[in-house]
Amino acid sequence: MNTRRGGALVPGLLLIALGVWFLADSLGLRLPGLGDLWPLFPLGFGLAFLVQYFAGGRQDDGLIFTGVTGALIGAFFLTITLGPLGWGDLGRLWPVFPLIGGAAFLAQWLVKPRDRGLLAPAALGLAVGLVGLLFTLQLLGPAVAEQAARLWPVVLILLGLGLLLSYLMGNRRTPQ
């Protein structure tokens, strides 16, 4: 991609968005305030990182983690500022944040599957987020919740076994 042309993409899109915003405002359309739209910044930055990864020939896989994290955090907060959720819901929706981290690690692993070290934080983030949501949204019955609270160390054991297996499989492939 031509750097000069590529450098005009984001400013061009920003100018169009601002123009549409101000035109709608001048025509009397009721628009959300800027205080409600701030999540568009992390969402936009996240999407920009993802576009940069794909437009840049898929060279820097670190852009995937940052892009997915920014886009998902921005989208989540947008559902709070504009959507059906409110700030009071964060007390029960906190597990969304480890889910976002797990999803970002998983996405980065998907573009670089040889880096199996990304699977442990991905699995941990996804597991903590999913189990946390089950508890905070009260989707588990009291007996199941009590049993899960007692047996949670099994997750650590399984993660440790997974890491050991990954280590042993890696050593088996190494020529000696």
pLDDT tens-place string over residues 18-51: 888 888 888 988 888 778 889 988 998 999 899 8
User: How many folded domains does the chain comprise?
Assistant: 2
Same domain, 15 and 55: no
Judge whether 65 lies within some domain.
yes
Total Cβ atoms within 10 A of residue 29: 9
Same domain, 18 and 55: no
State if pTM tops 0.85. Answer: no
Judge whether 169 lies within some domain.
no
Same domain, 27 and 87: no
Judge whether 111 lies within some domain.
yes
From the list 75, 82, 84, 159, the residue with the least C-alpha distance to 122 is 159
Same domain, 28 and 51: no
Q: Which residue has the tokens 């099994």?
A: 154
Contact, 31 vs 62, CB < 8 A? no
Written as six digits, the tokens of 69 are 């994290």
pLDDT tens-place string over residues 141-163: 788 878 877 887 887 888 788 77
pLDDT tens-place string over residues 120-135: 899 889 988 998 898 8
Helix (H) / strand (E) containing 152: none
